[in-house]
Chain A
Amino acid sequence: MAVDWFPLWLTLRVAAIATLLAVGAGLWLGWLLAKPPFKGQAILDSAVSLPLALPPTVLGYYLLVLAGQRSPLGRLYEWVTGHPLVFSWQAAVVAAFLWSAPLMIKSVRITLEKMDRDLERAARSLGATERRVFFAVTLPLAWRPLAAAAILAFARALGDFGVTLMVAGNLPGKTQTLAVAVYDAASKGEGALARTLTLVISALVLAALWGVNRLSARQAL
């Protein structure tokens, strides 16, 4: 059996980029949600949690409508990059990002809310700007739970199936990620291939979860 490893490399690349984006969005939105209540905070909280609860196909359909070739967003993307977003590997990145970002946002929010506020207050009293408080105090103190959250987000991005299938499709050698490839192999009756890919993805996720565990176990600074 000759295994085509393309889906593995694609998946790793897609999940890595999606995780980077999710960390950025998560730090910003999670920080916003952990701040003292402001108008619209509850709505924002619900909105960013939506992808956790919506069926992946629905999420995918939204993306198709919002970023499809006929939508303003889709046309803008095509005008900038020269090729349409949907059914490209970049669409798989967007799908994986949407799938994993809410988890990151929630983790960042919980981590920041659990922080010892007095440390940030002390920093402010000592003359630190908000930026400096975040980068010199908050982030270094919270990096363990935040790294654990990023790994979880990565694991989740690895496993997205529904959204990816809807917006990136199942084009072997182009947009076919691991999860989609397993589905493809199983539906074509290629048991050996499905089993191999299943083992690979399981090993990846297991390694990630082990990392999360290690990070959360040694909480003490």
Chain B
Amino acid sequence: MISVRVRKHFPPGRAAGSFALDCEFTAQAGITALWGPAGSGKTSILDAIAGFLRPDAGRILLDDALVFDAATGVHLEPRERRCGYILPGYALFPHLSLRRNLEFGARRLPRLERRRSVNEALERFELSGAAARKPRELNRAERFRGALARALLTEPRVLLADHPSLGACAPERAECHDMLRRAPGELEIPVLLATTDLDECLEAAERIIVLREGKVAQSGLTRQVIEQPATADVARMLGIYVLLPAEIKALDPSRNSSRILVQQTELSGPYFPGHFLGDRVWLCVRPDQLFARPRDGKPGPNQIPAELIRVTEKVRSVRLDFSGDLAVELPRAEYESQKHNKEWVVEFPPNALRVL
């Protein structure tokens, strides 16, 4: 288990304005994704845990070992922290063979045991045949497995992976996630995965910590966070929602219904607990849960007339962007049958409506 509370102020530099890291979280065994756009503080957090960045305040606990505590001035050197750090590009030593790279991680062991552990690790990560080769003679997947094996030979208390599959193709990424999940084995340690890729979070991590400008915006089970963003900011970051300013006009808990005003149109939706009449809120809907239909005279219930601005082809669907920040994602077949519409309405199924 790892428990982190850090605060660090970065004065404005040449490349960016001032930045403040201020976050608190814990992570159990298993993969936890640190997700956020570039510059949201992911790498800084990993660096603080590994000991390459000294926060101004806070404390970091790895299991029951205190590795940083501002109050008592504890700040262990990186070599004393036992953090397995998978750096971007994997940082295998280019002048050493794969075996020697692994031996570097097993230095604390006595000579005989070191040989045995390295052999075991090579075997376990299917690298025995590549042991004598230099990193530049290995493919990407082998280099990743090598870096993972090397880090695990130190018997780390936490595994930190900084953008491990950046620039990898889809099958490579799938293998990378698979390795990351299986690698710790009986070590039962937390794995922190820094990434800007939401798909990667869903594929690899049970839990997610959403970072925004150095702060934790939301955390929880990955699927839950993605399906139920807690704030409009998180919903906007996720990039999979349509967000519209709205006002609550009626609420009826007994009939589980509500009326909300969006762009001069009243829509009916389910009851929204925790909100009051007259609240100004964000209506948050997923484009794939909306319908686009041809306009036929007066718009029907829960329909907003809209003007088509752009059509974007996606791998599995077609996205239609409308005036007023509306968007609908349709299966391709559905789009084919509708593409000759002159005028459009966007229909909001009541159960798809959420407010933030």
| A136/B79 in contact, CB under 8 A | no
Alpha-carbon distance between A137 and B84 when the two chains are bound, in angstroms: 18
- Give chain A nearest CB distance to B175 CB in angstroms: 22
Given contacts A141-B94, A141-B95, contact A121 B89 (CB under 8 A): no
CB pair B79 A122 closer than 8 Å: no
Residue of B nearest to A119 (CB): B91
Determine whether A128 belongs to the interface, using a CB cutoff of 8 Å to chain B.
yes
User: Would you call A127 and B107 a contact (CB within 8 A)?
Assistant: yes
Also in contact, A122 and B85, with CB within 8 A (given A128-B79, A128-B107)? yes
List of A residues within 8 angstroms of B92 by Cβ: 122
B151 neighbours in A (Cβ, 8 Å) = 125-126
Contacts of B105 in A (CB 8 A): 126-127
Contacts of B107 in A (CB 8 A): 126-128
Proximity bits, B81-102, A CB within 8 Å = 1, else 0: 1111101110111110000000
| A1 CB-CB contact with B under 8 Å | no
How far is B108's CA from A129's CA once the two chains are assembled, in angstroms? 12
B77 CB within 8 Å of chain A: yes
CB-CB contacts below 8 Å: A99-156 with B:
116, 118-119, 121-129, 136-137, 140-141
> When the two chains form their complex, are residues B93 and A118 in contact, meaning their CB atoms are under 8 A apart?
no
Q: Does A221 reach chain B (CB closer than 8 Å)?
A: yes
- Does B150 touch A at the CB level, under 8 Å? yes
Q: B181: CB under 8 A from chain A?
A: no
User: Is B85 touching A136 in the complex (CB atoms < 8 A)?
Assistant: no
**Would B87 and A126 count as touching, CB distance under 8 A?**
no
**B350 on interface, CB distance cutoff 8 Å:** no
Query: How many residues on chain B are close to A (CB under 8 Å)?
Result: 29
Instruction: Tell yes or no: B104 within 8 A of A by CB.
Output: yes
Interface residues of B in 218-275 (CB under 8 A from A): none
Nearest CB in chain A: distance from B154 CB, A: 6
What's the minimum C-beta distance from A129 to chain B, rounded to whole angstroms?
7
What is the chain A residue whose CB lies nearest that of B94?
Answer: A221
Interface core residue of A116, A121, A122, A126 (most chain B CB under 10 Å): A126
User: Is A125 in contact with B93, judged by CB distance below 8 angstroms?
Assistant: no
Question: Do B79 and A140 have beta carbons less than 8 Å apart?
Answer: no
Decide yes or no whether B25 CB sits under 8 A from chain A. no
Query: Closest CB of chain B to A123's CB: distance in Å?
Result: 7
* In the bound complex, CA of A116 to CA of B82 (Å): 22
CB closest chain-B residue, reference A140: B95
Distance to closest chain A CB from B151 (angstroms): 7
Inter-chain contacts of A124 with B (CB < 8 A): 51-52, 77-79
Among the listed B89, B94, B95, B154, which residue makes an inter-chain contact with A126, where contact means beta carbons less than 8 Å apart? B154
Task: Give the distance to chain B from A139, nearest Cβ to Cβ, in Å.
Answer: 10
Closest chain B residue, CB of each to CB of A124: B78
Assembly CA distance A127 to B50 (angstroms): 11
Residues in B with CB closer than 8 Å to A141 are 93-95
For residue A119, which residues in chain B have a CB less than 8 angstroms away from its CB? 91, 93-94
A121-B52, A122-B87, A221-B136 known; A127 and B79 CB under 8 Å? yes
User: A121 vs B50: C-alpha distance in the bound complex, in angstroms?
Assistant: 9
B301 CB, nearest partner CB in chain A, Å:
59
Complex formed: what's the CA distance from A141 to B50 in Å? 24
Q: Is the CB of B79 within 8 A of A125?
A: yes
- The answer on a CB contact under 8 Å between B91 and A221 is no
A128 pairs with B95, CB closer than 8 A: no
Name the residue of chain A whose CB is nearest to the CB of B78. Answer: A124
Q: Interface digits, A179-221 against B, CB 8 Å rule (1 contact, 0 not)?
A: 0000000000000000000000000000000000000000001
Across the two chains, which residue of chain B brings its CB closest to A137?
A: B93
CA distance A127 to B105 in the complex (A): 7
CB distance B52 to A126 under 8 Å?
no
Contact A118/B89 with A126-B151, A128-B107, A136-B104 known, Cβ cut-off 8 Å: yes
Q: Which residues from B are CB-within-8-Å of A128? A: 79, 104, 107
13 A-B contacts, Cβ less than 8 Å apart?
A118-B89, A121-B50, A121-B85, A122-B87, A123-B93, A123-B104, A124-B78, A125-B50, A126-B104, A126-B150, A127-B105, A127-B107, A140-B95
Partner-B contacts on A (CB < 8 A): 116, 118-119, 121-129, 136-137, 140-141, 221
The 5 closest A-B pairs by CB, nearest first: A122-B91, A124-B78, A125-B85, A118-B91, A118-B87
Q: Beyond A121-B78, A122-B87, A127-B82: 16 further Cβ-contacts under 8 Å?
A: A116-B91, A118-B87, A118-B88, A118-B89, A122-B92, A124-B78, A125-B151, A125-B154, A126-B79, A126-B104, A126-B107, A126-B150, A127-B79, A128-B79, A141-B93, A141-B94
